[in-house]
């Protein structure tokens, strides 16, 4: 099988794959993670709110997003965001949002639903006694959350957040359906051009395997180091 395997096509193209494709993938992953965690935290606070309409709205959003395939959401936002942006600013023509920005909005809104559940679990794991102590000190709700609850929740949930980010890193490859030059998309272009599909896709699979295994090991190390003895 490997007697006809062309290693030279990998040697010729690996620099382009990493400088163009992997850079795009990592940028989209990091920005989506930051935006998703921020929005997910707000959604988690909304789900835990004692104000029922806010809790219901947040729960509806999370359950709806989690019930829809990601690739469908990518298509939705790719075609809808230009029209929504035009409606918001009152433009007569669809706004040219750009593929990267459209994909970024998609992943932030989609991943926020998953980060929300992680953060909600982290917040609920904090002892109620700490909340009562903060109230006894006269601290407002947002002070309690910002200074006491969220720092501990982030610490407890950091390994799980990293695990979800690994999933996000893998999911970013789905922007390939929009002909975006991410790592998979760049490899596909070379594979189609040179007629070397097996070599390119085996190389891509190995890169993802090594990166995800490395990140998984890091997540386990973090979990061991950050574990709080109770």
pTM above 0.95, yes or no: no
What's the pLDDT score for residue 14?
A: 85
Domains parsed from the chain with CATH numbers: 2-226 (1.10.3720.10)
pLDDT band (50, 70, 90) for residue 227: low
What's the pLDDT score for residue 150?
A: 83
Please provide the DSSP assignment of the chain as one string.
-GGG--HHHHHHHHHHIIIIIIHHHHHHHHHHHHHHHHHHHHHHHHHT-SSHHHHHHHHHHHHHHHTS-HHHHHHHHHHHHHHHHHHHHT-SS-----HHHHHHHHHHHHHHHHHHHHHHHHHHTS-HHHHHHHHHTT--HHHHIIIIIHHHHHHHHHHHHHHHHHHHHHHGGGGGGGT--SHHHHHHHHHHHHT-HHHHHHHHHHHHHHHHHHHHHHHHHHHHHHPPP-
Span 151-202, pLDDT tens digits: 888 888 888 888 899 999 999 999 888 878 889 888 888 888 877 788 888 8
| pLDDT exceeds cutoff 90 at 60 | yes
| pLDDT exceeds cutoff 50 at 230 | no
pLDDT band (50, 70, 90) for residue 148: confident
Q: What is the mean pLDDT of residues 48-53?
A: 88
Span 28-42, pLDDT tens digits: 999 999 999 999 999
Span 201-211, pLDDT tens digits: 889 999 999 99
């Amino acid at each position: 099988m490997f007697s006809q395997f062309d290693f030279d096509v990998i040697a010729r193209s690996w620099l382009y794959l990493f400088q163009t494709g992997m850079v795009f993938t990592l940028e989209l992953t990091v920005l989506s993670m930051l935006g998703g965690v921020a929005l997910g935290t707000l959604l988690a606070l909304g789900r835990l709110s004692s104000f029922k309409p806010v809790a219901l709205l947040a729960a509806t959003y999370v359950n709806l997003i989690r019930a829809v395939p990601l690739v469908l959401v990518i298509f939705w936002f790719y075609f809808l965001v230009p029209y929504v942006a035009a409606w918001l600013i009152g433009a007569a023509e669809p706004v040219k949002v750009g593929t990267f920005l459209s994909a970024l909005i998609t992943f932030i809104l989609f991943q926020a639903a998953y980060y929300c559940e992680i953060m909600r679990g982290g917040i609920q794991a904090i002892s109620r006694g700490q909340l009562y102590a903060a109230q006894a000190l006269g601290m407002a709700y947002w002070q309690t959350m910002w200074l006491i609850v969220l720092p501990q929740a982030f610490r407890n949930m950091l390994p799980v957040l990293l695990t979800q980010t690994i999933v996000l890193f893998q999911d970013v490859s789905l922007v390939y359906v929009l002909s975006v030059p991410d790592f998979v998309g760049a490899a596909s272009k070379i594979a189609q051009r040179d007629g070397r599909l097996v070599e390119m896709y085996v190389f891509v699979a190995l890169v993802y395997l090594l990166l995800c295994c490395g990140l998984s090991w890091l997540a386990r190390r973090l979990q061991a180091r950050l574990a709080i003895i109770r």
